[in-house]
Chains A and B, each alone.
Chain A
Amino acid sequence: MADAAFVGVGLRSAHYPRLLERPRTKVRWFEAISENYMGSEGRPLEVLLKMREDYPVALHGVSLSVGGVEGPRPGYLERLRRLIDRVDPLLVTDHLCFTGAHASNVHDLLPLPYTEEALKTVARNVARTQEALGRTIALENVSSYLAYRESEMSEREFLVEAARRSGCRILLDVNNAYVSAKNHGFSAEEYVDGVPAELVAQIHLGGYTDMGKFLFDTHSRAPTEPVWELYRRAIARLPGTPVLIEWDEDVPEWETLEAQAVRAARIAEEERERQPA
């Protein structure tokens, strides 16, 4: 993992048949959505364990609700732990957000106010999570379409402080940083530059959709050029960090997805060569 480019892609059921043929691929690792495998002992898990024989796998959750006042829902951490024990993942990640309440899961990444109370809530839930899982997790910055008037700090300060206080790491999604920067009028470059390198466990790269009035995090297309540029800036400072291409809606053919991973790897290598020895 010491080379500049360690690029993976999201494992999607549309690609199962192709991947089970064990093609030669330039993709180095896979990310699986934890919830898709936590409740299944059927074919999805069979495929995941098969892939695991050949590749490192990271588990990426969408329903931990680490910023939720109620915390993770009952049974969630136990199930995730069982999956971790079977998959032996490279990394376990989720999002710095809340996803609903126990009585009603919104299945969305809902933004938190950047306040002291939210920081305390996150720190408490991360502690509980890392204890239950027996390992350090990484939390991802999310795209947002609204901001709270009561926020006491910037999004970047909140992200870094949440990681510092709770002892977890950061999954830096450069697309989400770009989307939120455009939506809320801050500098995406300063955001990416301001996340301490030692906290970053992984980088995400995905595509947004321009809705006219705002940018929407859809993961339904390739990253846009400004996001590639932002990624170049990030990987120059974070060589060797695992990078993941996210493409969740309108999933393309395997080769198209793989080409994005190749491009991300090439950029990482170019930046590495540019560095003084």
Chain B
Amino acid sequence: MSASRLERLQRAFVRSATFAPDASLVAAVTGGGTLSSAEAVDVYRRGYPARLTSALGETFEACWRVLGDEDFFAVCRAYVARTPSRSHDLSDYGETFPGFLGDGTALASLGVDAPYLADLARFEWAFKELFHAAPVPGLSPAALAAAARPDSRLLLGAAALLSFPHRVYGLWKRDRKNDAPIAEAEWRGEERLLLYKSGGNPIFARELSAPEHAALSALSAGRTLGEALEASGLDEAGTKELFAFAAEARLFREAA
């Protein structure tokens, strides 16, 4: 089926707004005010990267802080140029931004050496996703005590279980007014984190040990409590502590 006149016009408009002015659109319009038709098309083209960059800036605010305006906007320009927005919702934009930062070339071309940045972006994306997630009324301490048997399957409620080869939580929390350069000691080392909601919408964070992270990962993957604890290597004291926290935070729900 051949494209209709309106369809061709709209495709030319989308190309012009997101990429480069399309000659067929420029020829088909007249500019408003004293704009030429090319200038008028350009009004729409300039707005596009600005909107997407501002969406990225909202989600990846800490990355922006780390990079500073000039480098952050340069990275965004490169990302926006190759990544169309497909959602109705601007806040869905940027899912692949952490990977883009992580592949190295974008930052290298700016002379930026920040090996932790992609992990910081992953953290921020996970935070944003959790921000929009429905709070889950988790098991009360009493209900958890009753449900915690070796063969029971417990799942996390509204939570994100994260593990990074760099420490990023401190960078994320870093005082906005602290503009001292980031020292290697701030990010060197692995980090495991749990972001969670506790029945309501505020988001909390807890740093996890490697065995705690392994236990919660195994539970999230649908393993029984007995299997998860066994595989994680969590000792008895560690198990107690983790469950005391989980009870208080109402972290778990029972698998259906």
A residues engaging B (CB < 8 A)? 35-36, 38-44, 46, 63, 68-69, 73, 76, 98, 100-108, 110, 113, 115, 117-118, 121, 144-150, 180, 182-184, 211, 213-216
Contact = CB atoms under 8 A, between A and B. Distances in A.
A29 B22 CA distance: 43
A149 B14 contact: no
Given A39-B92, A103-B84, A115-B6, A146 B34 contact: no
B43 interface: yes
11 contacts: A36-B91, A41-B133, A42-B133, A101-B10, A105-B88, A106-B14, A107-B85, A110-B44, A113-B9, A149-B30, A214-B33
B92 A104 contact: no
Interface in B40-62: 40-41, 43-44, 47-48, 51-52
A150 to B, nearest CB: 7
B170 interface: no
A105 B48 CA distance: 10
Contacts of A148: 9, 28-29
A73 B87 CA distance: 8
Contacts of A182: 33
A106 B134 CA distance: 28
B131 interface: yes
A76 B48 contact: no
B201 interface: yes
B253 to A, nearest CB: 15
Q: Label chain A's interface by main secondary structure.
A: mixed
A41 B5 CA distance: 40
A184 B32 contact: yes
Interface string B67-78: 000000000000
B13 interface: yes
Interface of B: 4-7, 9-11, 13-14, 17-18, 28-35, 37, 39-41, 43-44, 47-48, 51-52, 84-92, 130-135, 201
Contacts of A44: 132
Nearest to A113: B9
B40 A101 contact: no
B6 A106 contact: no
Nearest to B6: A117
B90 A107 contact: yes
Shortest 7 CB-CB distances between A and B: which pairs?
A183-B32, A214-B33, A41-B134, A146-B40, A63-B88, A104-B84, A40-B132
Contacts of B28: 148-150
A211 B43 CA distance: 11
Contacts of A46: 201
A150 B25 CA distance: 11
B4 A117 contact: yes
Contacts of B134: 41-42
Nearest to B36: A213
Contact of B33 (A106, A118, A215): A215
Contact of B201 (A36, A43, A117, A146): A43
